[in-house]
């Protein structure tokens, strides 16, 4: 069993983070970031042309992490591929040693750097999870037998701050029924509201990894409130950043504080550092999260 799946199933509080493949062929910075976090982070999400902005295939980067004995989670979206391409890519990913997947519907191309690109969306995240479950059982989406089946550990995303929370919880339930074995959440900054969400979804009995974005300025926090649906950063947090004379230390303190409060409610934290991966060790130290030291 893959290290990430094993640790999550063991009940260990895990730490994941996110890396964006390059828009080009220079992979050295990404691999160096991952190496610096070896033994600190349990697994790395590799994004799939994040926010519909063209970048190198995350499958290639996931394979490179495996080659340096680190654990990838391959994000796969439905934006650019039909069901044939999705199944083909999944089988290829498994052959490259990739078993952890995070299934997402994906952003519309109109929001990215190729707005003229035609969207596909042949399936959504729920159907994608069903495809993976079918492949795991030895059959393709059409019910035809495979010559050897993969063994994927598939997860999905959920937004505890969704404006239509009832609808979001129904979709979460549908994802569990389709085969989701873990969830990563959108960023959380209000632990009390997160606890209310956890109380409502604990019946699904799946591990939940709580997301948090490292806030490096009041302006950044304000922009996230304006532009990231379902994310609510309290005014007090923005004011704390605004009056800070050392925003880096304040950023670390805010993230650590949130992690301490949400830790009893979930099975891990997903730190979206947006290029500030160097802050992750300090955040975890201040949050009193012991690192595994494992590869």
Per-residue pLDDT for 207 more than 60? yes
Written as one string, the DSSP assignment of 138-149 is TB-TTSPBPSS-
Can you list the domains of the chain with their CATH numbers? Answer: 3-286 (3.20.20.220)
pLDDT above 70 coverage of the chain, percent: 98
Per-residue pLDDT for 100 more than 60? yes
How far is it, in rounded angstroms, from Cα 202 to Cα 209?
Answer: 13
Query: In angstroms, how far is the first alpha carbon of the chain from the final one?
Result: 14
| Burial classification of residue 65, based on how many CB atoms lie within 10 Å of its CB (0-12 exposed, 13-18 middle, 19 or more buried) | buried
pLDDT value for 230: 79
Can you tell me the mean pLDDT for 209-215?
96
pLDDT value for 292: 62
Confidence category of residue 294, pLDDT binned at 50, 70, 90: low
pLDDT value for 84: 97
Can you tell me the mean pLDDT for 145-161?
97
Phi, psi of 254 (to 5 degrees): -65, -50
| Burial classification of residue 57, based on how many CB atoms lie within 10 Å of its CB (0-12 exposed, 13-18 middle, 19 or more buried) | middle
Residue the block writes with tokens 């033994």 = 39
pLDDT value for 227: 85
CB-hemisphere CA count at 13 Å for 53?
8
Q: Return the bridge partners of 156, or none.
A: 103, 183
Question: pLDDT tens across 12-36, in order?
Answer: 999 999 999 999 999 999 999 999 9
């Amino acid at each position: 069993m893959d290290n990430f799946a094993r640790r999550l199933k063991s009940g260990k509080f895990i730490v994941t983070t996110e890396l964006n493949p390059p828009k080009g062929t220079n992979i050295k910075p990404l691999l160096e970031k991952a190496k610096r976090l070896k033994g600190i982070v349990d697994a790395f999400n590799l994004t799939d042309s994040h926010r519909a902005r063209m970048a190198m295939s995350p499958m290639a980067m996931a394979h490179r992490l495996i080659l340096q004995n680190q654990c990838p989670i391959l994000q796969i979206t439905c934006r650019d591929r039909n069901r044939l391409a999705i199944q083909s890519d999944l089988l290829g990913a498994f052959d490259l040693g990739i078993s952890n997947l995070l299934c997402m519907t994906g952003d519309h191309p109109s929001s990215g750097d190729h707005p003229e690109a035609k969207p596909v969306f042949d399936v959504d995240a729920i159907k994608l999870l069903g495809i993976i479950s079918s492949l795991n059982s030895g059959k393709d989406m059409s019910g035809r037998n495979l010559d050897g089946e993969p063994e994927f550990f598939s997860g999905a995303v959920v937004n505890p701050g969704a404006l239509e929370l009832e609808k979001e919880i129904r979709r979460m339930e549908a994802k569990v029924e389709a085969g989701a074995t873990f969830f990563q959440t959108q960023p959380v900054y209000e632990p009390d509201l997160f606890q209310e969400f956890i109380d409502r979804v604990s019946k699904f009995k799946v591990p939940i990894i709580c997301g948090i974005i490292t806030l490096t300025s009041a302006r950044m926090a304000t922009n996230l409130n304006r532009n990231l649906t379902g994310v609510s950063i309290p005014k007090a947090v923005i004011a704390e950043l605004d009056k800070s004379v050392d925003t880096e230390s304040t950023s670390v303190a805010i993230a650590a504080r949130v992690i301490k409060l949400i830790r009893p409610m979930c099975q891990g934290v997903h730190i979206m550092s947006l290029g500030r991966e160097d802050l992750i060790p300090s955040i975890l130290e201040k949050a009193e999260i012991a690192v595994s030291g494992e590869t």
